[in-house]
Amino acid sequence: MNLKAETTLSCMVSLGMFSTERGVVVALPGGRTVSALVDRRSVLVDQEPTPGSEVPGRVRVFVVSSENDSVVLELPQAGFTQGPRLKVPKTLLKQ
Amino acid sequence: MILSDGEIKAALRRRAIIIDPLPREEQFTTSALDLILGDEILELKTPEELAQEEPAGVERPLIIDPSEIDIRRFLQKYGKPLLRQPDGTYVLPPGKFVLGITREYVELPRRSKIAARVEGRSTLARLGLVVHLTAPTIHSGFPGHIVLEMCNFGGFPLRLQPGRLAICQLIFERVGRVPQSGVKTKYAGQRRLR
């Protein structure tokens, strides 16, 4: 798999606390989720979320390292409950 | 090392630092860049307000557990805009904690090898205004507007003017040089508080 330094990850997108922000929730295998507030320019959506709603979208991430079946990514901002890095299966990047 | 004003300008020209809108000359100091307060200020609802939103008859301690936070529910439940005055300003009462945001979008591309720290400004600090709480680091690769955790520790209400007030300063870190301009602060050489 030819990994670029920057890629995108599927996520659910809601409005952020400020108008320039978006809330993103990345669903990981096993039912775990990672939530973060990121700048709206770091999110790709077909239509903007409305108050109280969330829409499917993609968040820009950096590829930190790649192993056999997994990849370490870095979100634009740290998550609420963890740092900005997360390890995900490579298959998640294709979705 | 800390970037000087000339180095920050050079970095802006070659887009090693991206700031939108581009800062005006008066926003630079010798070794930092002032950022302007943005339009939005949010406050967290009080426990009393949150209790009123609970269904009738429900009584439970309102304790936030950061490890179980759901971002969408959190945003909907705990934040609300601070009341804006008719003249467009905000008044921050003593003891009030709010979240502000910079007018400027800041991006520090990784290839630039530049990180930054958000710091307060001395005049505002003397009035008791804190603009960040323990989270000053803008990491290399960061894109976005900078959120400010603000609290008025002074004894007087403070009027904050979005779009005008230089609310914080950014200190860029990598390699430093001799600053190109002289010290501009009016507190240079001070020996006493007043």
Name, in order, each residue with C-beta under 8 angstroms of B159's C-beta and a sequence gap of 6 or more: B85, B89, B90, B91, B92
User: Which domain covers residue B121, as residue numbers?
Assistant: 5-55+67-173
Q: Does B20 reside within a domain?
A: yes
What pLDDT shows up at residue B79? Answer: 84
Q: Are B33 and B117 in contact (CB under 8 A)?
A: no
Chain A residues near residue B70 by CB distance under 8 angstroms: 35
Query: Which residues are within 8 A (CB) of A50 and not within 5 positions of it... i.e. 6 or more apart?
Result: A15
Query: With contact defined as beta carbons under 8 Å apart, do A58 and A8 qualify?
Result: yes
Check B107, B119, B149, B173 and give the catalytic one: B149
- We report the CATH number of the domain holding residue B151 as 2.70.40.10
User: Can you tell me the ipTM of this complex?
Assistant: 0.80
pLDDT for A43-80, tens place per residue?
999 999 998 899 999 999 988 888 889 999 999 998 88
Find chain B residues with C-beta within 8 A of A36's C-beta. Answer: 71
B124-173: per-residue pLDDT in tens? 999 999 999 988 989 888 899 999 999 999 999 999 999 999 999 999 99
Whether B36 contacts B164, CB under 8 Å: yes
CA dihedral sign, ordered A41, A36, A11, A90: positive
Query: What is the model's pLDDT at position B51?
Result: 75
- Chain A hits for B71, CB-CB cut-off 8 Å, are 14, 23-25, 35-37, 80
Q: List the one residue out of B187, B179, B191 whose CA is nearest residue B9.
A: B179
Q: How many residues does chain B have?
A: 194
Average pLDDT, chain B: 86
Is residue B135 one of the residues assigned to a domain?
yes
Helix (H) or strand (E) holding B122: helix B122-126
On whether residue B191 sits in a domain, the answer given is no
d(CA A92, CA A75): 14
Q: Do A36 and A87 touch, CB atoms closer than 8 A?
A: no
**What pLDDT was estimated at residue B125?**
95
Residue A73 CB: number of other CB atoms within 10 A? 26
In a domain, residue B187? The reply is no
pLDDT of residue B181: 41
Phi-psi region of A31 (alpha: psi -120 to 50; beta: other; left: phi over 0): left
Tally the residues of chain A. 95
Q: How many beta-carbon pairs under 8 angstroms link A with B? A: 69
- Radius of gyration, alpha carbons of chain A: 13
pLDDT at B191: 55
pLDDT the model gives residue B59: 64
Q: How many domains does chain B have?
A: 1
Below-50 pLDDT ranges, chain B: 175-185, 187-188, 194
Whether the predicted pLDDT of A2 surpasses 70: no
Spacing of C-alpha B6 from chain mean position: 23
How far apart CA B15 and CA B19 sit, in angstroms, is 9
Residue B60 pLDDT: 64
**Nearest residue of B to residue A82, measured between CA atoms:** B67
Q: What residue ranges do the domains of chain A occupy?
A: 6-94
**pLDDT at residue A35 in the model:** 92
Residue B183 lies in a domain: no
Give the other-Cβ count within 10 Å of B3's Cβ: 26
Q: What is the pLDDT of residue B139?
A: 87
For chain A, say whether B40 makes contact (Cβ under 8 Å): yes
Q: Which of residues 127-146 of B touch A (CB under 8 A)?
A: 139, 141-145
A7/B contact by beta carbon, under 8 A:
no
Q: What percent of chain A has pLDDT over 90?
A: 63
Give the Å distances, CA to CA, from B36 to A88, B119, B132: 38, 13, 14
